[in-house]
């Protein structure tokens, strides 16, 4: 291993200013998380308790093993997108241990608009399923949903990746032996009734859970038949007569105990395929990252200093350290798991791209997962690099990254712009998980570059038309563009739209990566076949 020493002084005014700015960002993150954790309004939560129901987060705590971590996906999904809907999109999704086995848990939050599905709810549910499918995780769905939110039908009904894909995924996962389990905790109508009906095993709560394709009011409107909820679709009927459900529970706690028993009898789980070393803490405090990342987004970060505070014992076996040095490549361990790290340390030149492609090939041959740490303004531009073939070399890097069948993770720590966002395993290239720090940003270009580019376009129009505009008019034109690009690039915009899976603190990075690697390591290795490299 290569011993790297830190050159950071934690006693400077700059370090203090940076730390204070980052801590303010962390406080903002925790405020957003608190709103997501609270769920729906107090009135709805109180009604749940009056019905002697567990709240959604209480159901989560009850189903998890004591002390189990919970790796939550899409906690801030939908933030600010719908009036009266808190972050989270009316569903909780994430991975935790149930009876000693990692499971994907999906819980409708009926305290939020009755647990109905918005477009973002469907997208979040499907995203959780895709992660479960990729990692062959048993799925537990706790159902209490009024089905589709009707005004949202264009975002719920017609397309792939929307509500119907939930059913497709359930069926295909079950066909592959990935267990599907449901508990029905409240009225579940139409599509909400198919969720448990398509599971391998379904549990329903007596005098509380109900499921039907059409509720009593719809039945009356269609047939003039008068029927109550329990007779039409209650737990007793479905468990004794229709056979739609397999287990009848007396209350929420009993239903969850039944689920835990089902999971306990799923047989032997898959073994870890990687050798995991005893974890070692970094030799430098991860909290020092707050003082290393500049409070000014325009000031670059020395990402070698960041790495020192993330990897075990601060040991990195760096690959080609003297070549293409704006791309740091190296082998390290995170909480005992070996990873191949690609971290930006400046713009991507041809040499950086060639080096990155070579390093990815090595990791694929050795079955070592990849962590892309993105903090990059883009690929280098200009006549010299174009003649050098930077498009060709960048294509090699993208081909290697996209072809790699080892687990791939993306962490955006700073700016990630233009084609470099894609090359560093951006969301369109389907990393296992994409994460952002509160300082992460991603867009076609930075705010100032966008404002300058569009101003130059307007300059050309003025020149053609023989007109002009003042510097003050230019500035008035630029400012809203800057603001628009700042809003778009925000990690919370990405989290709200589920363009990233989670926003995490730097100090949470090691634990999060260890959980992800633990899950990935229990799946069989996949051989990589690379696309054509343009030589």
User: Which whole number is the average pLDDT over 268-281?
Assistant: 96
Give me 381's structure tokens. Answer: 């531009």
Measured over the CA atoms of residue 12, residue 17, residue 21 and residue 27, the dihedral's sign is positive
Q: What is the pLDDT of residues 37-76, one digit of tens each?
A: 999 999 999 999 999 999 999 999 999 999 999 999 999 9
- Domain ranges, residue 511: 286-444+490-520
User: Does any domain span residue 398?
Assistant: yes
User: Does any domain span residue 73?
Assistant: yes
User: Which whole number is the average pLDDT over 255-265?
Assistant: 98
User: Does any domain span residue 280?
Assistant: no
Question: Residue 283 class from Cβ within 10 Å (0-12 exposed, 13-18 middle, 19+ buried)?
Answer: middle
| Mean pLDDT for all residues in the chain | 95
User: Does any domain span residue 153?
Assistant: yes
State residue 376's pLDDT score.
95
The reply to whether 327 and 244 lie within a common domain is: no
Give me 283's structure tokens. Answer: 């030799």
User: Which whole number is the average pLDDT over 161-177?
Assistant: 97
Half-sphere exposure of 119 (CA within 13 A, CB side): 15
The reply to whether 241 and 341 lie within a common domain is: no
State residue 298's pLDDT score.
83
The total domain count for the chain is 2
Is the pLDDT at 2 greater than 70? The verdict is: no
The reply to whether 231 and 341 lie within a common domain is: no
State residue 149's pLDDT score.
87
State residue 208's pLDDT score.
94
The reply to whether 159 and 190 lie within a common domain is: yes
User: Which whole number is the average pLDDT over 289-305?
Assistant: 92
Kind and range of the H or E run holding 374: strand 370-376
User: Does any domain span residue 316?
Assistant: yes
Strand partners, 105: 94, 140
Look at phi and psi of residue 90 and say left if phi exceeds 0, alpha if psi is from -120 to 50, else beta. Answer: left
Is the pLDDT at 411 greater than 50? The verdict is: yes
Is the pLDDT at 22 greater than 60? The verdict is: yes
User: Which whole number is the average pLDDT over 151-168?
Assistant: 94
Q: What residue spans of 430-528 are helical by DSSP H?
A: 447-465, 471-489, 491-496, 509-520
The reply to whether 407 and 502 lie within a common domain is: yes
State residue 431's pLDDT score.
98
User: Which whole number is the average pLDDT over 377-384?
Assistant: 92
The reply to whether 227 and 306 lie within a common domain is: no
- % residues pLDDT > 70 (the chain): 99
Closest alpha carbon to 73 in 27, 28, 148, 134: 134
User: Does any domain span residue 461?
Assistant: no
The reply to whether 401 and 500 lie within a common domain is: yes
State residue 454's pLDDT score.
94
User: Does any domain span residue 23?
Assistant: no
State residue 323's pLDDT score.
97
User: Which whole number is the average pLDDT over 369-389?
Assistant: 94
Sorting pLDDT into bands at 50, 70 and 90, what band is 90? very high
* CATH assignment at residue 398: 3.90.226.10
Q: What is the pLDDT of residues 434-468, one digit of tens each?
A: 999 999 999 999 898 999 999 999 999 998 999 98
Is the pLDDT at 1 greater than 70? The verdict is: no
Residue 337 contacts residue 518 (beta carbons within 8 Å): yes
User: DSSP class of residue 380?
Assistant: -
The reply to whether 311 and 419 lie within a common domain is: yes
User: Does any domain span residue 98?
Assistant: yes
Residue 510 contacts residue 310 (beta carbons within 8 Å): yes
User: Which whole number is the average pLDDT over 182-202?
Assistant: 91
| CA–CA dist 71, 473 (Å, integer) | 49
Is the pLDDT at 240 greater than 60? The verdict is: yes
State residue 3's pLDDT score.
63
Q: What is the 3-state secondary structure (H, E, C) of 76-91?
A: CCCCCCCCCCCCCCCE
- Three-state secondary structure call for residue 296: coil
């Amino acid at each position: 291993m290569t011993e790297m020493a830190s050159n950071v002084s934690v006693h400077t005014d700059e370090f203090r200013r940076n730390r204070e700015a980052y801590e303010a960002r962390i406080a903002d993150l925790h405020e957003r998380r608190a709103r997501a954790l609270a769920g729906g309004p107090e009135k709805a939560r109180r009604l749940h308790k009056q019905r002697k129901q567990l709240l959604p987060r209480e159901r989560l705590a009850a189903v998890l093993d004591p002390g189990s971590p919970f790796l939550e996906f899409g906690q801030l999904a939908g933030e600010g997108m719908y009036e009266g809907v808190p972050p989270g999109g009316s569903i909780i999704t994430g991975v935790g241990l149930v009876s000693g086995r990692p499971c994907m848990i999906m819980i409708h939050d009926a305290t939020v608009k009755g647990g109905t599905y918005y477009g973002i709810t469907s997208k979040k549910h499907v995203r959780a399923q895709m992660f479960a499918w990729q990692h062959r995780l048993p799925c537990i769905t706790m159902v209490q949903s009024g089905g589709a939110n009707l005004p949202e039908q264009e975002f719920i009904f017609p397309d792939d990746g929307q509500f119907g894909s939930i059913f497709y995924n359930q069926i295909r996962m079950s066909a592959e032996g990935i267990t599907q389990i449901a508990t029905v905790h409240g009225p579940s109508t139409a599509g909400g009734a198919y969720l448990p009906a398509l599971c391998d095993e379904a549990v329903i709560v007596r005098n509380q859970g109900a499921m039907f394709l059409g509720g009593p009011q719809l039945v009356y409107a269609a047939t003039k038949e008068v029927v109550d909820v329990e007779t039409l679709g209650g737990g007793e009927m479905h468990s004794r007569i229709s056979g739609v459900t397999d287990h009848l529970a007396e209350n929420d706690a009993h239903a969850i105990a039944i689920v835990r028993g089902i999971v306990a009898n799923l047989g032997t789980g898959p073994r870890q395929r990687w050798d995991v070393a005893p974890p070692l803490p970094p030799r430098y405090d991860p909290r020092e990252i707050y003082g290393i990342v500049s409070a000014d987004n325009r000031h670059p970060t020395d990402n070698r200093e960041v790495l020192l505070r993330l990897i075990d014992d601060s040991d990195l076996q760096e690959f080609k350290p003297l070549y293409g040095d704006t791309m740091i490549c190296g082998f390290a361990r995170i909480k005992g798991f070996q990873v191949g790290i690609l971290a930006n340390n400046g713009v991507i030149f041809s040499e950086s791209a060639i080096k990155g492609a070579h390093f990815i090939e090595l990791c694929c041959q050795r079955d070592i997962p990849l962590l892309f740490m993105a903090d990059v303004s883009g690929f280098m531009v200009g006549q010299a690099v174009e003649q050098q073939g930077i498009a060709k070399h960048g294509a090699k890097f993208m081909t290697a990254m996209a072809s790699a069948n080892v687990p791939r993770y993306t962490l955006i720590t700073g700016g990630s712009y233009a084609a470099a966002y894609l090359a560093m395993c951006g969301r369109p290239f389907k990393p296992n998980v994409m994460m952002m720090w509160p300082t992460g940003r991603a867009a076609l270009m930075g705010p100032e570059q966008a404002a300058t580019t569009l101003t130059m376009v307007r300059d050309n129009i003025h020149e053609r038309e023989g007109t002009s505009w003042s510097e003050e008019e230019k500035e008035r034109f630029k400012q809203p563009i800057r603001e628009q690009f700042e809003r778009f690039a925000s990690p919370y915009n990405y989290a709200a739209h589920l363009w990233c899976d989670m926003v995490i603190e730097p100090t949470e990075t090691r634990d999060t990566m260890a959980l992800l690697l633990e899950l990935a390591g229990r799946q069989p290795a996949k051989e990589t076949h690379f696309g054509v490299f343009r030589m």
